[in-house]
Amino acid sequence: MNYVEDVSRVSTGVDALDAALQGGVPKGSWVAVTGEPGTGKSILCMHYAWAGLKEGDPVIYVTTEAEFRDVVRQARQFRMYFDDYEMHYLGGKPPFRKPQIVVIDIFSLLKTAKQLSADIDEVERSRKYAALEIDVLIATIREAYRVLGLLEGGRKSPSKHVRLIIDSMSAFWADKPAMARRFSYQLKIATHRENVTAFLVSQYAMTTKGTFGYGLEHIADGVIHLWMDNVEVAKEVRRYLIIKKMRMTNHYEGAFRVIISPGEGILMKPVSGAAAGI
C-alpha cells in the first residue's frame, strides 16, 4: 500500500510547504492559517489561490481585510497575475462568462444581508442581517458555488473541486470573540464538502491569543501557524511558519524560516540544519 498516494493532495502554491506536506494538503481539508499581523497569512492565501487558478480549480476568495483590487496589486508584486483570469465580484453585474474566480468582499456580503433581511421581513419583521454575520457568509458562499456552475441539477455540494479562501474569519467575531468556535462550527457544517478545500485566516493579537484565539483551530483539519520573533528584542523582522496540525497526512514537524521576497512571495527553509533533506 502506498501511504502517500492514498489521499489526494491540493497544492498550497508554496513548493517547500507542499514538500513538507507530502505533496500538499489533503483534499477536503479545512486549514486554519493563524498568526499576528505582518507574518504572511494573506500572502500565503494568494499563493494558494494562484496555484488553484493555474491548475484549473475554481476559486472563491472572501476578503474582509482589504479591497480585492489591493489583493490583486499585492499578488502582482510576487508575479501572480489574478487579472489574467475571469474574475467576478459577487453582488455586482452578472458575469458574461463563467468565472474562474469569484470574489466576495464586504459589498457582496452587504448585498446578501439586505436580501436575507428583505426575504425574512415578510414573516418576522424584526430580523435584520449585518454584512459580517456568519449566516450571511454562508449564504454568500452558496451563491458563489451557484455562479461557478457547481450546483447544477439541484446538487447540494460542488460538482468539482473548489478552493475557498477566507481572509479573514476573525472579522466575523471581532465584536464577540467568545463566539469564534460556534461560528466556525456553523460555517463548517454548512459549507464543508468533500470537494471544498479551504484556507481560513485567523488573525490574532498576542493579547487575545490565550483566551479567544483558538475558536477556528478547534474545528480545523489543519493549522498552519505563522509568527515572528519579538521585534523589540530581535531588532528585525524574522518570520517563521510551522505545520501545527494536518489530519490525514504525515508532515514535517519543524519550524521554517519564512522570507517574503519581491517577485517570489513566500520562500521557506527549515530552521534546523539537520532537516536539509526537506
Ligand X SMILES: Nc1ncnc2c1ncn2[C@@H]1O[C@H](COP(=O)(O)OP(=O)(O)O)[C@@H](O)[C@H]1O
| Binding interface with ligand X (CB under 6 A) | 35, 37-43, 77, 260-262
- In the complex, minimum distance from the CB of residue 44 to ligand X, in angstroms, rounded to a whole number: 7
**With CB under 5 A as the contact rule, which of the stretches 38-46, 50-58, 209-217, 253-261 interacts with Mg ion?**
38-46
Determine how β-strand 59-63 pairs with β-strand 162-167: parallel
19: partner contacted, choices Mg ion, ligand X, none (Cβ within 5-8 A by kind): none
262: partner contacted, choices ligand X, Mg ion, none (Cβ within 5-8 A by kind): ligand X
- In the complex, minimum distance from the CB of residue 3 to Mg ion, in angstroms, rounded to a whole number: 35
Q: Which residue in the set 12, 42, 100, 170 belongs to the binding site for Mg ion (CB under 5 A)?
A: 42
Beta carbon nearer to ligand X, 35 or 91: 35
Beta carbon nearer to Mg ion, 42 or 191: 42
- State the virtual CA torsion across 180, 184, 186, 190 in degrees, nearest 10: 160
Beta carbon nearer to ligand X, 35 or 158: 35
Beta carbon nearer to Mg ion, 42 or 197: 42
Provide the grid cell at 18.
Answer: 507542499
Q: Nearest residue by C-beta to Mg ion?
A: 42
- In the complex, minimum distance from the CB of residue 244 to ligand X, in angstroms, rounded to a whole number: 16
- State the virtual CA torsion across 187, 69, 161, 191 in degrees, nearest 10: 10
- In the complex, minimum distance from the CB of residue 186 to ligand X, in angstroms, rounded to a whole number: 24
Tell me the CB-side half-sphere exposure of residue 197, using CA atoms within 13 A: 25
Residue 63 makes contact with Mg ion by CB under 5 A? no
Distances (CA, A) of 2 to 116, 174, 210: 48, 44, 40
How far apart are the C-alpha atoms of 223 and 208, rounded to whole Å?
Answer: 18
How many angstroms separate the most distant Cα atoms in the chain?
Answer: 65
Beta carbon nearer to Mg ion, 48 or 129: 48
Is the CB of residue 254 less than 8 Å from the CB of residue 270? Answer: yes
What 8-state DSSP symbol labels residue 92?
A: S
Helix axes 68-76, 41-55, angle to 10 degrees: 80
How far apart are the C-alpha atoms of 25 and 198, rounded to whole Å?
Answer: 10
Beta carbon nearer to ligand X, 253 or 264: 264
208: partner contacted, choices ligand X, Mg ion, none (Cβ within 5-8 A by kind): none
- In the complex, minimum distance from the CB of residue 87 to ligand X, in angstroms, rounded to a whole number: 20
Binding footprint of Mg ion on the chain (CB under 5 A) = 42
